[in-house]
Structure 1
Amino acid sequence: MERLSGDYYIYPGATERALRRYRGFLQPPGRRPLYPQDAECSCRGCSFDDVRHVRDVLEEVVRQLPARPRAELERQVRALDARYVERTLPDPFATHRQWRSDLWWRSRLAGGREAG
């Protein structure tokens, strides 16, 4: 699927990289809130610095996968999503700050130190 995707951000290895990045963001122990960071630039490499973009990529990959692999990836992503909701805070002004505030993962507070 990655090889056939016409999406600039989906390339061979992108799904594994996105999952690793999403897990890594949620890895720090403790209960302190985590704050996603904007990427330095929007190129394929740097864009994965923003965990919200990583979640965008995972959503697109899920959308493009056939049923069985889609279900498997969705299970993994849902588990990570639950931790993301626990470790991030809602942004009451997301509709004014985010270009895709309709996506729940983009409606969380961002801009602080990512490690909490």
Structure 2
Amino acid sequence: MPRKRPGALRAAHQQRPRTWGSPPPYRIHGLSARTSLAIHRVEALSDDYYIDPGVTDRALRRYEAFLRPPGRRPLYPQDEECSCRHCSFDDVRHARDVLEEVLRQLPPRASAELARLVASLDRAYLRRTLPDPFAGERQWRADRWWHRRLAGGRQGG
């Protein structure tokens, strides 16, 4: 049985240009492209009010910015004044809540990579903030350790 030549096979197969329906997602700083893509999928498919496209990058940047001031003085998270999805990032604890929710929804490999990045920020947060002995009485989210730190002061010291 005679074979068709490879060129004839390629010519018969119509080449369609590869186009994307939307631009490819950007890479989140400090994470691999694979993990960034998994995060973008979670953000796009999540039905949580506070999770929308780009929120993980914003939460990471907010968490890092809170811990950025040099020195050894304690930092005090600022309470949020508005609970809408964008204003609530005034409180760094909300940024950590968002990261926790994204971690919960990610597949295992992507979750592990993001968890390593968040764990390094958590260590700095524990070093730079003070424990609140009355957090169980004051906080409605006292089950999460980052809510059991002193807050309410002017942010940055």
Residue 14 of structure 2 aligns with which residue? Answer: none
Q: Give aligned-pair identity as a percent.
A: 72
1:77 matched to 2:118: yes
Q: Of residues 59, 70, 85 in structure 2, which corresponds to 1:29? A: 70
Pairs aligned (count): 116
Calculate the TM-score normalised by the size of structure 1: 0.98
Amino acid across the alignment from 1:22: Y
Moved over 4 A (4+): none
1:16 matched to which residue of 2?
A: 57
Which amino acid letter does the alignment assign opposite residue 77 of structure 1? Answer: V
1:45 equivalent to 2:80? Answer no
Q: Which residue identity does 1:29 align to in structure 2?
A: P
Deviations 1:9-56 (A, max 9, x none): 010000000000000000000000000011110001101110111111
Match of 1:92 in 2: 133
Q: Which structure is richer in relative contact order (CA contacts within 8 A, separation 6 or more)?
A: 1
Deviations 1:60-80 (A, max 9, x none): 000000111101100000000
Any idea what SS the aligned residue of 2:94 has? Answer: helix
List runs of 5+ in structure 1 lacking aligned partners.
none
Q: Give, as a single letter, the amino acid of the residue that structure 2 aligns with 1:103.
A: R
Paired letter, 1:85: L
Structure 2 CA distance for aligned equivalents of residues 69 and 21 of structure 1: 20
Residue 111 of structure 1 pairs with residue 111 of structure 2: no
* 1:57 maps onto 2:95 in alignment: no
- In structure 2, stretches of 5+ residues that fail to align are 1-41
